[in-house]
Amino acid sequence: MAARSLLRVPRGRLITIEGIDGAGKSTLAAGLRDALAARGIDALALREPGGVAVGERIRELVKDPALEIDARAEALLYAASRAALVSARVRPALEAGRWVLLDRYVDSSLAYQGAGRGLGVAAVAAVNEFATGGLRADRTLLLAIDPRAGRARVGDRGEAADRLEREADAFFAAIADAYAALAAAEPERVRALDATQPVEAVLDDALAAIADLAQL
């Protein structure tokens, strides 16, 4: 009897969305998921920290303004949440051929803890290399916005500021600079988008930035 040929499902794509608070990451993730679905691409939208039970618990911890968390402990908490999410949801989805749209990933830790907290980008990168098993994004969409404009957007939400959102302007300026440096260092992976544009324009730019990954 002739051996059956086994068809391998093409690996899905990992698209990460980065930027300071208030840049519009969640809005873009939702819009991108719907736009890809309309083009016949099954995309799973997830957020960090979160996406799995342990990640949601960690999210509560790192955002709680009543807690004081050491910078190294903070970096490790984010890495732990990321490890759980990659293992339980991201890798299985990619292996099943689905695209994953991830609201924050390793670059967030490099910018927030590596630069903002002063731990060093290289040190934080090493921790996250272990946490993710070396899983890298196929494309990263960096929503670029002035830190003060981003903070103003957060304030307009009418919600109480979380632990990170209460940091000083200098903290967010360092993060924005770190993101810009990451984009300059990896222009093939990281595509900067003007986050001050209308939502529809940002989505159009995002689709153009990933078009080569699926001939959109």
Question: Taking the CA of residue 9 as centre, how many other CA atoms within 13 Å lie in the half-sphere pointing to its CB?
Answer: 11
Residue 163 · residue 61 · CB < 8 Å: no
pLDDT single digits (tens) 134-179:
999 999 999 999 998 988 888 777 788 889 888 988 999 999 999 9
Over range 181-204, report the average pLDDT: 97
Q: Distance (Å, rounded) from C-alpha 144 to C-alpha 181?
A: 12
pLDDT at 111 over 60: yes
pLDDT at 1 over 70: no
pLDDT of 150 reads 86
pLDDT at 216 over 70: no
Write the secondary structure of 146-183 as one string of H (helix), E (strand) and C (coil). Answer: CHHHHHHHHHHCCCCCCCCCCCCHHHHHHHHHHHHHHH
Which of 156, 181, 129, 216 shows the shortest CA–CA distance to 18?
181
Residue 179 · residue 16 · CB < 8 Å: no
pLDDT of 6 reads 57
Q: Where does residue 158 fall: left (phi above 0), alpha (psi -120 to 50 degrees), or beta otherwise? A: left
Over range 203-213, report the average pLDDT: 97
The domain ranges of the chain are: 14-214
Q: Distance (Å, rounded) from C-alpha 104 to C-alpha 161?
A: 19
Q: What is the pTM of this model?
A: 0.92
Residue 100 · residue 86 · CB < 8 Å: no
Question: At the topology level of CATH, where does 14-214 sit?
Answer: Rossmann fold (3.40.50)
